[in-house]
A and B are shown apart, each in its own frame.
Chain A
Amino acid sequence: MAIHIRNCRLPVQTLTNIGSAELAFFMREAFLVGGWSENSNDGDPDWSAAANIVFSDLTPSPGFSVLAANPRQVTHASAPFTSAMAGRMMLALRATNDQNASMWRITEFINTSTVKVDPIGFDPNGWVDESAIPGRILDYGSAVHTTGAWTLLDAPTGNLQARVEINISNYVECYARPAGQAADPTETPGSALVQLFDDDDLSIVMNAYIDGTTALFYKYADNDGLEYMALWGELENVVTGDTNPGFVAQLHGGGDPYDWTVYMVGFGGTAQLGNVAMPRRYDTDSPQNGIFAKTNGKLLNGRPGRAVLVKPLVYMTSEFFLRGNLPGARYCNIHFESNRPMDALGAWRHTRNGRVVPMNGPLDPPLFTTGV
């Protein structure tokens, strides 16, 4: 399954690390919606507190329902909704159909059995009739965890595990265990930290794309440049015998669009390695300008030709070999228009400065910013 989560504005926080706590809580739920499963957590009661998980029907009994004829509208026969949820809480549906599976802000309270979800996050293709959908209602504004609380999630297939930890410095720390718990994870202190947002972002608008073992979390920032991305997955195009190509990677703040830092287990089997996804040079002005050269490129203008869209290639920095391609992300010339599709099919979206993320078709609305 491939799901898109859009425009999930986490409530404004004022305490130093509460943003980190609510983001970790959001990420766990997104993983779960995307088909991952929780292996374990640190036992912090806030992972299951009723203040955070306001309503849960995972059996389901009777489950949530959606109808194509009623866009954005979600119903539940047990009348779990309240007017206080609108504008604050999130609804996460673990639906069978990808168009119904996602997480949204509840934006409109209709009655205790019916609400409407955010139109920006709503799948542009609409609902597919489905009932008995497992799901939960969550209040991230209450998600206060102890610093150091963590959750460990299993990918739907393969060995990859993702570990998300709340950090006192207001980071979410992201780790991967490419070979599961049987081999060294990438979480040796200090060397594998993936920082998903910074202290200035007390209000975060999160987006995610989860497709099997690939899980991308990102926020769009069109003006401050602090556009962090965290990506879990397994490298594509690895050779036979490379049985644990799982990784976690970070694209940091305002850095170059190819400047992913990738953490995974190397050929040696035990070492954790910092890796660089390297750029291809697509200049059109001079050899030195790299992908920064101007191509005057506005896309989808009806002319034949191919926009630069590069699949990052991962180089094992300590072991000196090229290993595979990152799934779930691309990069392009930095001069392309921001927040615009890269192709007519709407498969990829240029966020800004050359960064490219999966797009949910040509009608997928533009991303919202953090508003800073």
Chain B
Amino acid sequence: MAKHYVRDVRITPTGFSQEGAMPNYSVLIYHFLRTCGFEWIWECDGNAGDNPTHIDDGNMETVGVGDWADVGTPTTKQKVTTPIRQGTQALEIVSSDTGEGVQSNGLVSTRANTDYHIAVWANNNSGANWEVWWYDGAGPLVKAGDISSDGAYQAYHFDVTTAGSGTPYIQIISGFSGSQTIHIDGIIIFESYFEYAGLHDEGTDGSITNPDQFTSPSDYTFSSSDIGRYVCVYDSTNPTNSGCYEITGESAGTVTLDLKSTTGTLTTQASLAFRVIDLDSASVPVSTNMENWIRSVGWGLESPHASGWRVFFRHSLENGQTNKAIIVWAAPEDTEYDYETGTFLDSGPSTQRGYDDPYDFDGTGNLHCWAGGYDATVAYGQRFFLMMEDDFSFFTFVQYSSDPSPSHGVFFVGYTGADPYNTGIMEFDLCCRSDFSTANMLSWANTNAWGRDIVTFAPDGHAAPGLLAQLGYGVSSSGIFNQAGNIANPFSSEEWLVPIHTTRYGEGESPEGSFKPWSIGMYQSRSNITDMTTFDSEQYMHFDLGLVWAWNGYDLT
């Protein structure tokens, strides 16, 4: 199956705050996946601590309607158990006339003169519009937008701005006379650091001209000021076109992209989804421009893959504010999640539903993360690579550090390929770390390395720990893949690659354990292949310590 790549995005972070360039790359990942069609399902700005949505009862799970005041005299205002989108209940409002509905409590911990985004999941089957109104703290009350009658739950999005003082709130009211009914099951209000901030513009008419030219005939007009920005582009017809490329030149609205390859060229293609993004540290949520780094910004996306698997990234900081990390949780299907925290509910499988301890998402214990441990005194340059399956069944990335004591980040989430012995969600793995106090994620065996702390799924749907099955460890005399003097097969000059395997611990209701070969183009090779090089006619890429990806035939500059 074809692969889509982000190839060698190089960032030298500003400051030495042990973040590496994780925030920049988190923004990159977000926008690339969004460009590829991943669905936005959650974002938070972290400013309100434990409840980053800023609104009381945003998940509609509070018993009763005490957090919702009447606007006018609605006929009905109650929590109901059907129809709901997720969780256990929704807010039902029945109006008798135009302008009747509900008003939220005053929003919590909003910042003055700041742009916010409102997402409302509503089921409007009334045949007429309902309306969202916004009070910015100073007034007047203004209409933010409509909730159209679409007959099923969907997300409606509104952009608003707070005033210099006062406490904002929102209203949801009927826009039409007569009795109208609406169900609300989820409201998130956030100061966006992903979907809006960092995103310069987007379009669907991206046009590539061989070898490295990109333009947008009508959706966006490129100018010289775009030089230094990046273009995320998705091409389902020519997967090697997909990527995230730095703009290095501009002429008459057409920009030149840095392909980071001497042999790779783009294939001429039109009508492509694209996003123009900023990855400079002034535009991304680095700790120095965040109001609250602990339990900070985050995003959640749902894959277009048939399973609808979901993944959440939430930037965080360990106690003591030293090592930065991005906490990660994922689900092998469209498991319900709490709107306020973004964490999964127990109604479906997720990496947060295991046999033992509860998941701890604020950074002290049972969690998984993309971790730093980056140097606190030197801003070492970082290189970033991402690979995604054509059917969106997984993505993986490597953050390669130039630090001589490297702190490479390696991450995988998604399905590892068909295996008759591990079907359904048992094909789903999350590979990262369970601790972010130490460096060097790219390791096959070390405690806290990505190969050591895999989340797998047992037959009964629980998350279960696992690790990567390794070659050359366990018996010192047999450390073949790390042995000095190793060479490619002299008969062919080609490398011997071993597909990655997962071993699942026996636990809970599945005490046997199991193992699973991956079939998605990720391998272990001898470790002494030169780091960061392609080989075997550029069909493979070696990062470090024997981690190899299938590659797209392009060399690297």
Residues of A within 8 A of B (CB): 238-242, 256, 258, 267, 276, 278-284, 287-291, 295-298, 301, 303-308, 313, 315, 319-323
Q: Contacts A279-B475, A295-B512, A305-B514 given: A315-B491 contact, CB under 8 Å?
A: no
Contact of A303 among B446, B470, B475, B510 (CB under 8 A): B510
Q: Report which residue of B485, B511, B515, B526 has the largest number of chain A beta carbons within 10 angstroms of its beta carbon.
A: B515
Q: Within the assembled complex, what's the spacing in Å between the Cα atoms of A320 and B494?
A: 13
Q: Chain B's nearest CB lies how many Å from the CB of A74?
A: 40
List of A residues within 8 angstroms of B485 by Cβ: 320
> Which residue of the partner chain A has the closest CB to B510?
A303
Q: Within the assembled complex, what's the spacing in Å between the Cα atoms of A303 and B504?
A: 14
Residues of B within 8 A of A (CB): 419, 421-423, 426, 445-447, 452, 459, 467, 469-475, 477-478, 480, 483, 485-492, 494, 496, 498, 501, 503-506, 510-516, 526
> Which residue of the partner chain A has the closest CB to B424?
A304
List of B residues within 8 angstroms of A258 by Cβ: 478
Q: Are B474 and A279 in contact (CB under 8 A)?
A: yes
Q: Are B421 and A282 in contact (CB under 8 A)?
A: no
Q: Are B480 and A296 in contact (CB under 8 A)?
A: no
> Which residue of the partner chain A has the closest CB to B524?
A280
Q: Are B423 and A304 in contact (CB under 8 A)?
A: yes
Q: Are A297 and B496 in contact (CB under 8 A)?
A: no
List of A residues within 8 angstroms of B510 by Cβ: 303, 305
Q: Within the assembled complex, what's the spacing in Å between the Cα atoms of A307 and B494?
A: 30
Q: Report which residue of A298, A306, A315 has the largest number of chain B beta carbons within 10 angstroms of its beta carbon.
A: A306
Q: Are B471 and A280 in contact (CB under 8 A)?
A: yes
Q: Contacts A280-B501, A295-B506, A296-B512 given: A287-B422 contact, CB under 8 Å?
A: no
Q: Chain B's nearest CB lies how many Å from the CB of A302?
A: 10
Contact of A278 among B467, B478, B505 (CB under 8 A): B478
> Which residue of the partner chain B has the closest CB to A243?
B491
> Which residue of the partner chain B has the closest CB to A292?
B474
Q: Chain A's nearest CB lies how many Å from the CB of B556?
A: 25
List of A residues within 8 angstroms of B491 by Cβ: 238-242, 267
Q: Are B512 and A297 in contact (CB under 8 A)?
A: yes
Q: Contacts A278-B472, A297-B513 given: A284-B490 contact, CB under 8 Å?
A: no
Q: Report which residue of A288, A307, A320 has the largest number of chain B beta carbons within 10 angstroms of its beta carbon.
A: A320
Q: Within the assembled complex, what's the spacing in Å between the Cα atoms of A303 and B422?
A: 10
List of B residues within 8 angstroms of A239 by Cβ: 489, 491-492, 494
How many CB-defined contacts (below 8 Å) exist between A and B?
130
Q: Chain B's nearest CB lies how many Å from the CB of A104?
A: 35
List of A residues within 8 angstroms of B513 by Cβ: 284, 295-297, 305
Q: Contacts A297-B512, A305-B421, A305-B512 given: A281-B486 contact, CB under 8 Å?
A: no
Q: Report which residue of A290, A303, A304 has the largest number of chain B beta carbons within 10 angstroms of its beta carbon.
A: A304
Q: Are A308 and B515 in contact (CB under 8 A)?
A: yes
Q: Chain B's nearest CB lies how many Å from the CB of A350?
A: 14
Q: Are A288 and B471 in contact (CB under 8 A)?
A: no
Q: Within the assembled complex, what's the spacing in Å between the Cα atoms of A319 and B486?
A: 8
List of B residues within 8 angstroms of A256 by Cβ: 475
Q: Within the assembled complex, what's the spacing in Å between the Cα atoms of A44 and B426?
A: 61
Q: Within the assembled complex, what's the spacing in Å between the Cα atoms of A291 and B472?
A: 12
Report 11 cross-chain contacts, Cβ distance below 8 Å, ordered by A residue: A241-B491, A279-B474, A281-B469, A288-B473, A295-B513, A296-B512, A303-B510, A304-B426, A306-B419, A307-B515, A321-B496
Closest 8 CB pairs of A and B: A290-B474, A305-B514, A306-B421, A322-B496, A239-B492, A281-B470, A287-B445, A281-B474
Q: Report which residue of A284, A291, A297, A323 has the largest number of chain B beta carbons within 10 angstroms of its beta carbon.
A: A284
Q: Contacts A276-B478, A278-B471, A287-B467 given: A306-B489 contact, CB under 8 Å?
A: no
Q: Are A304 and B459 in contact (CB under 8 A)?
A: yes
Q: Are A306 and B423 in contact (CB under 8 A)?
A: no
Q: Are A281 and B471 in contact (CB under 8 A)?
A: yes
Q: Within the assembled complex, what's the spacing in Å between the Cα atoms of A160 and B467?
A: 40
Q: Are A287 and B503 in contact (CB under 8 A)?
A: no
> Which residue of the partner chain A has the closest CB to B470?
A281
> Which residue of the partner chain B has the closest CB to A240?
B492
List of A residues within 8 angstroms of B516 by Cβ: 306
Q: Within the assembled complex, what's the spacing in Å between the Cα atoms of A241 and B469?
A: 30
Contact of A288 among B474, B483, B494, B504 (CB under 8 A): B474
Q: Are B473 and A321 in contact (CB under 8 A)?
A: no
Q: Are A320 and B492 in contact (CB under 8 A)?
A: no
List of A residues within 8 angstroms of B423 by Cβ: 304
Q: Are B473 and A315 in contact (CB under 8 A)?
A: no
Beyond the given A281-B470, A295-B512, A296-B513, please list 11 additional residue pairs across the A-B interface where CB-CB is below 8 A: A239-B489, A239-B492, A283-B467, A284-B503, A287-B447, A290-B473, A297-B513, A303-B510, A304-B423, A305-B504, A321-B488
Q: Are A282 and B514 in contact (CB under 8 A)?
A: no
> Which residue of the partner chain B has the closest CB to A258?
B478
List of B residues within 8 angstroms of A322 by Cβ: 480, 489, 496, 526
Q: Are A291 and B490 in contact (CB under 8 A)?
A: no
List of B residues within 8 angstroms of A291 by Cβ: 474
> Which residue of the partner chain A has the closest CB to B516?
A306
Q: Chain B's nearest CB lies how many Å from the CB of A257?
A: 11
Q: Contacts A280-B501, A295-B513 given: A321-B489 contact, CB under 8 Å?
A: yes
Q: Chain A's nearest CB lies how many Å from the CB of B456?
A: 11
Q: Are A281 and B473 in contact (CB under 8 A)?
A: yes
List of A residues within 8 angstroms of B480 by Cβ: 276, 278, 313, 315, 322
Q: Contacts A241-B491, A295-B513, A322-B489 given: A305-B422 contact, CB under 8 Å?
A: yes
Q: Are B486 and A306 in contact (CB under 8 A)?
A: no
> Which residue of the partner chain B has the closest CB to A289?
B474
> Which residue of the partner chain B has the closest CB to A298?
B512
Q: Within the assembled complex, what's the spacing in Å between the Cα atoms of A298 and B485?
A: 40
Q: Report which residue of A256, A288, A322 has the largest number of chain B beta carbons within 10 angstroms of its beta carbon.
A: A322
Q: Are B503 and A303 in contact (CB under 8 A)?
A: no
> Which residue of the partner chain A has the closest CB to B514?
A305
Contact of A290 among B421, B475, B487, B488 (CB under 8 A): B475
Q: Are A282 and B422 in contact (CB under 8 A)?
A: no
Q: Are A304 and B422 in contact (CB under 8 A)?
A: yes
Q: Chain B's nearest CB lies how many Å from the CB of A309?
A: 9
List of A residues within 8 angstroms of B490 by Cβ: 267, 319, 321
> Which residue of the partner chain A has the closest CB to B492?
A239
Q: Are A306 and B474 in contact (CB under 8 A)?
A: no
Contact of A282 among B489, B496, B515 (CB under 8 A): B515
Q: Contacts A276-B478, A281-B470 given: A296-B459 contact, CB under 8 Å?
A: no
Q: Within the assembled complex, what's the spacing in Å between the Cα atoms of A322 and B472?
A: 12
Q: Are B503 and A282 in contact (CB under 8 A)?
A: yes
Q: Within the assembled complex, what's the spacing in Å between the Cα atoms of A287 and B505?
A: 12
Q: Contacts A240-B492, A280-B501 given: A301-B469 contact, CB under 8 Å?
A: no
Q: Are A320 and B486 in contact (CB under 8 A)?
A: yes
Q: Within the assembled complex, what's the spacing in Å between the Cα atoms of A287 and B512?
A: 18
Contact of B421 among A238, A283, A304 (CB under 8 A): A304
Q: Within the assembled complex, what's the spacing in Å between the Cα atoms of A159 and B471?
A: 31
> Which residue of the partner chain A has the closest CB to B488?
A321
Q: Are A303 and B459 in contact (CB under 8 A)?
A: yes
Q: Within the assembled complex, what's the spacing in Å between the Cα atoms of A238 and B475?
A: 25
> Which residue of the partner chain B has the closest CB to A308?
B515
Contact of A313 among B446, B471, B488 (CB under 8 A): B471
Q: Chain B's nearest CB lies how many Å from the CB of A295?
A: 5
Q: Are B506 and A280 in contact (CB under 8 A)?
A: no
> Which residue of the partner chain A has the closest CB to B511?
A296
Q: Within the assembled complex, what's the spacing in Å between the Cα atoms of A267 and B493?
A: 12
Q: Within the assembled complex, what's the spacing in Å between the Cα atoms of A276 and B475?
A: 12
List of B residues within 8 angstroms of A242 by Cβ: 489, 491-492
List of A residues within 8 angstroms of B467 by Cβ: 283, 287
Q: Within the assembled complex, what's the spacing in Å between the Cα atoms of A295 and B490?
A: 38
Q: Chain B's nearest CB lies how many Å from the CB of A250?
A: 16
Q: Are B474 and A283 in contact (CB under 8 A)?
A: yes
Q: Chain A's nearest CB lies how many Å from the CB of B495?
A: 9
Q: Are B515 and A306 in contact (CB under 8 A)?
A: yes
Q: Chain A's nearest CB lies how many Å from the CB of B530?
A: 16
Q: Within the assembled complex, what's the spacing in Å between the Cα atoms of A252 and B505?
A: 30
Q: Report which residue of A281, A295, A323 has the largest number of chain B beta carbons within 10 angstroms of its beta carbon.
A: A281
Q: Within the assembled complex, what's the spacing in Å between the Cα atoms of A288 and B498?
A: 20
Q: Within the assembled complex, what's the spacing in Å between the Cα atoms of A37 and B329?
A: 62
